[in-house]
Each structure stands twice: as structure tokens, then as C-alpha cells.
Chain A
Amino acid sequence: MKHGQVKIVPSGDRDLVMTRAFDAPRTLVYDAHTKPELVRQWLLGPPGWSMPVCDMDVRVGGTYRWVWRHDTNKTEMGMGGVYREVKAPERLVSTEKFDEAWYPGESLNTLVLVEQGGRTMLTQTMRYESRAAREAVIKSGMEKGVSASYDRLDEVLATTATTTPR
């Protein structure tokens, strides 16, 4: 198997912990999370959204600003935060707050990358301000996930297949 599946489990009172394996060294996975020209290629959420704004000043105290726009109805969704810890290529801690809050307060996101035999295990811990905030996030995932149709998934799989001749 080339890559793993995303696992998400609630942890403690306020955390969601997400894990996923990638068939690539962690320097590349880290780059894909810290270089704007790479981030905007994959961090798009549900189908139909692009990322016109992707500004990132990756250093402790530096800020980032991301805006997504829906291709047809032009709805925009923006968020941003501050980098708290920057330790290439293994650890990145940042705050996250949406312009139009769909969960209370902000979250503290910790990305940890561990490489083993050329593969990288990604662990993303999202710590919310309260149990209710975590609940709101999980509920929202429900609504958005519905639009992630299988058509789109097939499309993405086809793209993956053509870019990786083996």
C-alpha cells in the first residue's frame, strides 16, 4: 500500500488527533505544509473550492492568511493564525481562527512528522478551546463531507494514477 488512511480520534476533552502515512520523506511533507505555492495545490477542502490567498510567514511569531473561494457561487471563506513553534522538518505549531467562526474561539494545531524507511507518519493534533468547540467541528465535517462526492474522489484517484507511473 502506497499511503495510509486518515484516522481521526477524539483525545482528552478538547483534542482531535489525526494521523496519516505518506510515501515520501518528511522534508517533502514539511515543504508541502510550509511553502505557499505547494500548500495551495492540495489544501482545498471540499470539491469546487480554490485558494486565491495563501500568505505564509513561517517563523515563530509570523502569521499566515488563507482564503478559499467557491468556483461558481464565489463564496469566500478565510482563516489565519500565528506560528508558535517552527522546527523543520519535524514540528509546526500554529493557531487557527476562521473569519466567520463556525466553532468558538481558536484552535492550536500541532503538526508532527516522523520519518521511517522513506515514509512519513503525519500526526496533526487540533486542540480546541472547549468540548463544545470540538463538537462543532465534528458536526461541520458531517455537512461538508456529504458534498465530497465519489465522482470527485474518482477524479483525484485518476490524477494520482497518471502522475505516478509505476
Chain B
Amino acid sequence: MQATRRLDVIFAALADPTRRAIIARLASGEASVNELAEPFAMSQPAISKHLKVLERAGLISRGREAQRRPRRLEAKRLEEADKWLERYRELWEGNYRRLDALLDTLKNQEKERKPR
């Protein structure tokens, strides 16, 4: 149950575009709250709110450096979430590869019907 609950929190955290952008930024290295707020037209408190959600989901953590308290990505947690979506994706990829084959057949049939 614990794992399920955690996953739910992770997906909720990832479902917001600003938070996904923050994750993308942190993927290239740790950053302070000010540095994270810069590219967004958002107040620092607004960014801090997003960071709190990401922190609660375990997706980011705070560094120890006293003044900057840089945020960093917890890559392992992100991978965990990716793995779930990956399986679901595989299921649909199977369906869509069959659809690719079917569409090719339909295209060829259309071509044959048209006079040259």
C-alpha cells in the first residue's frame, strides 16, 4: 500500500508543467530557489510551493550548503515512476505496431483501386 501511495504522490507531482520544467532544469545539475525561479514568470513563494510538492514526492532534495540550500534531483525516484509508465506504453506500442501494419495494407489497397 505504501508503494502505491507514494507512486500516486509522484504522478500528481509530475502532472504539472511547471514542476516538469523544474525537474528538467535539475536534471542538468543542482540549483538554488532563485536560480530555479528565474526562467519562470513566477514569484519565489509560488516556486517554493512547487518545490515543496516535488520534495514531498521524494523527487528532489535539499543540499546542506547553508545559504543556497540548492535543490537536487532524486533520479532513482523518477526512474521508479518512469518504469510504471513504460509498461503501460509497451502495451499500447504492441497495439499500434499492429495498426501500422494494417494501415500499410489499407494504403496499398487504396493505391490499387486508383486507375494509373
Contacts A32-B103, A163-B105 given; indicate if A45 touches B88 (C-beta within 8 A).
no
CB of A103 to closest CB in B, whole Å: 12
CA distance A61 to B104 in the complex (A): 31
CB of A147 to closest CB in B, whole Å: 9
Interface residues on B, range: 20 to 34
In the assembled complex, A2 has its CB within 8 A of some CB on chain B:
yes
Taking a contact as CB atoms under 8 Å apart, the answer to whether A6 and B93 are in contact is: yes
Taking a contact as CB atoms under 8 Å apart, the answer to whether B95 and A42 are in contact is: yes
In the assembled complex, B14 has its CB within 8 A of some CB on chain A:
yes
In the assembled complex, B2 has its CB within 8 A of some CB on chain A:
no
Interface residues on A, range: 35 or more
Taking a contact as CB atoms under 8 Å apart, the answer to whether B92 and A18 are in contact is: yes
In the assembled complex, A116 has its CB within 8 A of some CB on chain B:
no
A interface, CB within 8 angstroms of B = 2-3, 5-13, 15, 18, 20, 22-24, 28-29, 31-32, 38, 41-47, 131-132, 134-135, 137-146, 148, 152-153, 156-157, 159-160, 163-164
B interface, CB within 8 angstroms of A = 4, 7-8, 11-12, 14-15, 83-107, 110
The 6 closest A-B pairs by CB, nearest first: A141-B88, A145-B87, A42-B98, A24-B103, A142-B87, A42-B99
